[in-house]
Chains A and B, each alone.
Chain A
Amino acid sequence: MTDMSAPSSGKTSLLRLDARTKKRNAAERRFRAYGAICVGIAVVALVVLMASILKNGTSAFFQTHITLDIELLESKLDKTGNRDIAEMSKVSTFGYAPLIKNAMEAKIEELGVDIEGLKKPQDMISKEAAAQLRRFVLANPDVVGGTYEFEFLASGRIDGYFKGRVTMESAERDKNVSPQQLMLADAMKEEGSLNTSFNWKFITWPDASENRPEAAGLGVAIIGSFYMMIVVLVLALPIGVAASIYLEEFAPKNWFTDLIEVNISNLAAVPSIVFGILGLAIFINFAGLPQSAPIVGGLVLTLMTLPTIIIATRASLKAVPPSIREAALGVGASKMQTVFHHVLPLAAPGILTGTIIGLAQALGETAPLLLIGMVAFVREYPSGPPEGFFDPAAALPVQVYNWTQRADPAFVERASGAIIVLLVFLLVMNLVAIILRRRFERRW
């Protein structure tokens, strides 16, 4: 009974695993497997999400165009023949539509195709075309009477046919397109007057109404988002950095500063829609700032971003070792000089990273913007800063929200395309944050 701990069979060896070690090792293996599964789930979710967005959205970056020779009839556009702009501008886009119809019929004749039951071939061309013609004619009144070549957008359904969204079978049941029109489109593609190319208009053009999804673009939304980011940067960075320097370096440690600290952390967790309600009440109803304006959106997002920036800045100020401060104070620097000459430069990469991540968060934020009128149909580009901050504009995430609610199926593709643009912006911003951190961060 002297050797109670030894197992009855044989000796213990470090090389031979006993039951308990095996159990512990098995537990570790199991944990590793769980970890790998969790990572796997996250990766699969991400891949599925990205794949579905890319699958739906990449086609938004390509667009079918139709090239036509338009005869700019004087009898339609300038009855008096004076080439007087004021008189010519009385002819509305509805007056230009017959020109496109004529050109389309001439094209069919030229192609020599005979498609039985073909109706309204002019509907294959976007309704934007009449506006495009009118703009051109009013800018150059002398062209009236001549024949010019124009490249028009194809209508959403024709465009969808070449992207696989519309098929002959679906066209059969569709009120907005007929199989005959698709046959004509095929013939025109063969002849070369219909082609698909990269769609810069998706990035630069403003939103369009439900009647012409093919003309809808992100131009106004990108400018609106950009303006808001400027407002956020100009306001949130200095205020956030100043507040955190004061709190971290100068403020006395007492119950009051503790209270502020707790509240800043709480503020970071406040749902963003709350900031929207606040923005509506304070900035629009009380201060009288205009609706749908990037300045209001920027102010609301500033409030939302401030806690993020303050927390990140304080963390990077804390990470600067006390020895730096002590050395500076030791050679006779004032407290202010210590902070601004030594601590702040060393904390700068962390502050920048925090700011960029805060901005990226603000860029993707939708909820507060819903309440301050940013979810609007805006076609006019806002003017340059600073007046442009007060002009109505859209924003990228709300443009996505807007397009998902439209009836025409072509907007589904546009919405996914807008998501891709938004994701690219976010990726670039996060990448910049990573590069800055990698290059300038110092470790002690």
Chain B
Amino acid sequence: MLHAKLTVSTLAIIALSATASSARDQVQVAGSSTVLPYATIVAEAFGENFDFPTPVVEGGGSGAGRKKMCEGVGENTIDIANSSSRIKQSDIDLCGSNGVSEIMEVRFGYDGIVFASDIEGPEFGFTPSDWYNALAAKVVVDGALVDNPNTSWSDVNSALPDQEILAFIPGTKHGTREVFDVKVLEAGCEATGALEALEAAGMSEEDCITLRTDGVSVDIDGDYTETLARLDANPNSIGVFGLSFYENNTDKLRVATMGDVTPSTDTVASGEYPVSRPLFFYVKKAHLGVIPGLQEYIDFFVSDEIAGPDGPLAEYGLVSDPELAATQEMVSSGTPMGGL
């Protein structure tokens, strides 16, 4: 009896392993959790409208997705990496050392980053300087560089409501944080004159993004749902969200202006709203023509009816790329990216 069972199970494993070598027939995608909702919308529509199976889309983060794509060529590696920041030289080198020599870089739109507070609270109109003065470790007061003394938004800018400063910002592993650092903190650093003072004190631009550590700025390592939950628990706080997340929760969140511009797909597309970033996906060229449906999927992704200004992605909150036509051309001809 025991022998029989063991033999049967061994045979089962062997039989199963044998079928494992059969070809993969669906596209596999992984990467940024910001791009994930867009990619699932495209995958779903692709499955409905084509004879290919619906692609499998995984999250996990931009960096993790790019690493996974660079693991090598073959059916047990993914075809596409979604990314909310541009690929890094280290990723390209890793790809190269694993035989992934040609990658296509596809920019399919832009994402805005918004600052929002509880819907019941007061309205806010920020500038990058306000954020720098509220969250940075060192700020300039009366011409001298001091540890950040501000406790209320009205200390930072008398036009802002008298509400204690408490901000939930994305953790350092998020692509969103990079944008926040560059477009908000560094811009504010320069505008308030803190950059000059820092340089005079022998520090560099990198010290602009050093945040105060007294609990006023809280890093959120989870996703926007966690930020929203924290905002619910602390109605006096300000959270940082993606534009699309805000668009889906407009009944709970009050969005703040940045430099007097209200964030919307229009103001991000026109470049008026300053805090935005491009969204990408990277395609392993060696898999084109091998994995069925891969070329069709990427063509469909950047087509006007999906990624255009009236498509479902724009409806969800994507800011469509004004240069989409060039992207379509690039995708259909399969042009690999040059260097960075």
Interface residues of A (CB under 8 A from B): 89, 92-94, 127, 131, 134, 166, 170-171, 173-176, 208-212, 234-235, 238-239, 242, 245, 284-285, 287-292, 295, 340, 373, 375-380, 386-387, 389-390, 392, 404-409
Interface residues of B (CB under 8 A from A): 1-2, 5-6, 8-9, 12-13, 15-17, 19-20, 22, 24, 26, 28, 30, 33, 36-37, 39-41, 43-45, 47-49, 51, 53-54, 56-60, 71, 74-76, 78, 119, 223-225, 244-245, 247-251, 305, 312, 315-316
> Contacts A210-B37, A340-B1, A340-B2; is A375 near B58 (CB within 8 Å)?
yes
* Chain B contacts for A288, CB-based, 8 A: 20, 74, 76
Nearest CB of A to B41, in Å: 4
Asked if B251 and A380 make an inter-chain contact with CB atoms under 8 angstroms apart, the answer reads no
Of the residues B24, B56, B224, contact of A376 by C-beta under 8 Å: B56
* Chain B contacts for A389, CB-based, 8 A: 16
Nearest CB of B to A132, in Å: 10
* Chain A contacts for B76, CB-based, 8 A: 284, 288-291
Asked if B249 and A409 make an inter-chain contact with CB atoms under 8 angstroms apart, the answer reads yes
> Contacts A211-B41, A289-B20, A291-B76; is A375 near B248 (CB within 8 Å)?
no
Would you list 20 pairs from A and B whose C-beta atoms are within 8 A, ordered by A residue? A89-B51, A92-B305, A171-B251, A173-B250, A175-B250, A210-B316, A211-B316, A245-B2, A289-B76, A290-B20, A290-B75, A295-B16, A377-B56, A378-B54, A379-B47, A380-B47, A386-B12, A390-B16, A392-B28, A405-B59
* Chain A contacts for B43, CB-based, 8 A: 209, 377, 379
How far apart sit A245 and B16, CA to CA, in the bound complex (Å)? 27
How far apart sit A209 and B1, CA to CA, in the bound complex (Å)? 48
Asked if B5 and A375 make an inter-chain contact with CB atoms under 8 angstroms apart, the answer reads no
Asked if B247 and A175 make an inter-chain contact with CB atoms under 8 angstroms apart, the answer reads yes
Asked if A93 and B45 make an inter-chain contact with CB atoms under 8 angstroms apart, the answer reads yes
Nearest CB of B to A225, in Å: 17
* Chain B contacts for A173, CB-based, 8 A: 119, 250-251
Asked if A291 and B78 make an inter-chain contact with CB atoms under 8 angstroms apart, the answer reads yes
* Chain A contacts for B58, CB-based, 8 A: 291-292, 373, 375-377
Asked if B9 and A239 make an inter-chain contact with CB atoms under 8 angstroms apart, the answer reads yes
How far apart sit A89 and B57, CA to CA, in the bound complex (Å)? 25
Which residue on chain B has the smallest CB distance to residue A207?
B40
* Chain B contacts for A134, CB-based, 8 A: 48-49
* Chain A contacts for B248, CB-based, 8 A: 175-176, 210, 407-409
Asked if B251 and A174 make an inter-chain contact with CB atoms under 8 angstroms apart, the answer reads yes
> Contacts A176-B248, A389-B16, A407-B224; is A234 near B9 (CB within 8 Å)?
yes
* Chain A contacts for B12, CB-based, 8 A: 234, 386
Nearest CB of A to B248, in Å: 4
Asked if B225 and A406 make an inter-chain contact with CB atoms under 8 angstroms apart, the answer reads yes
Of the residues A166, A239, A245, A407, contact of B225 by C-beta under 8 Å: A407
How far apart sit A119 and B123, CA to CA, in the bound complex (Å)? 28
Nearest CB of A to B237, in Å: 19
How far apart sit A173 and B118, CA to CA, in the bound complex (Å)? 12
> Contacts A173-B251, A210-B41, A390-B19; is A407 near B245 (CB within 8 Å)?
yes
How far apart sit A292 and B29, CA to CA, in the bound complex (Å)? 11
* Chain A contacts for B315, CB-based, 8 A: 211
Interface centre among B49, B78, B250, B315 (most CB of A within 10 A): B49
How far apart sit A291 and B78, CA to CA, in the bound complex (Å)? 9
* Chain B contacts for A290, CB-based, 8 A: 20, 24, 75-76
Asked if A405 and B49 make an inter-chain contact with CB atoms under 8 angstroms apart, the answer reads no
Nearest CB of A to B2, in Å: 6
- Enumerate the 7 nearest inter-chain pairs by beta-carbon distance, A residue then B residue, closest first: A379-B54, A209-B40, A377-B57, A170-B251, A376-B58, A174-B251, A238-B5
How far apart sit A295 and B14, CA to CA, in the bound complex (Å)? 12
Nearest CB of A to B115, in Å: 17
* Chain A contacts for B6, CB-based, 8 A: 238-239, 242
* Chain B contacts for A289, CB-based, 8 A: 17, 20, 76
How far apart sit A235 and B315, CA to CA, in the bound complex (Å)? 48
How far apart sit A93 and B13, CA to CA, in the bound complex (Å)? 42
* Chain B contacts for A404, CB-based, 8 A: 225
> Contacts A209-B43, A210-B37, A392-B56; is A386 near B75 (CB within 8 Å)?
no
Instruction: Give 10 A-B pairs besides A209-B37, A375-B59, A405-B223 with Cβ atoms closer than 8 angstroms.
Output: A92-B305, A93-B48, A176-B248, A287-B17, A289-B20, A291-B28, A291-B58, A407-B248, A407-B249, A409-B249
Asked if B19 and A387 make an inter-chain contact with CB atoms under 8 angstroms apart, the answer reads yes
> Contacts A377-B43, A387-B22, A407-B224; is A127 near B36 (CB within 8 Å)?
no
Which residue on chain A has the smallest CB distance to residue B300?
A92
> Contacts A289-B20, A377-B56, A386-B15; is A406 near B37 (CB within 8 Å)?
yes
Of the residues A93, A176, A234, A380, contact of B26 by C-beta under 8 Å: A380
Nearest CB of B to A288, in Å: 5
Interface centre among B45, B119, B223, B247 (most CB of A within 10 A): B45
How far apart sit A379 and B26, CA to CA, in the bound complex (Å)? 11
Which residue on chain B has the smallest CB distance to residue A402?
B59
Nearest CB of B to A180, in Å: 16
Asked if A94 and B36 make an inter-chain contact with CB atoms under 8 angstroms apart, the answer reads no
* Chain A contacts for B17, CB-based, 8 A: 287, 289
Of the residues B33, B36, B44, B224, contact of A379 by C-beta under 8 Å: B44
* Chain A contacts for B20, CB-based, 8 A: 288-290, 295, 390
Of the residues B40, B249, B312, contact of A127 by C-beta under 8 Å: B312
* Chain A contacts for B16, CB-based, 8 A: 295, 386, 389-390
* Chain A contacts for B33, CB-based, 8 A: 405
* Chain A contacts for B19, CB-based, 8 A: 386-387, 390
* Chain A contacts for B53, CB-based, 8 A: 380
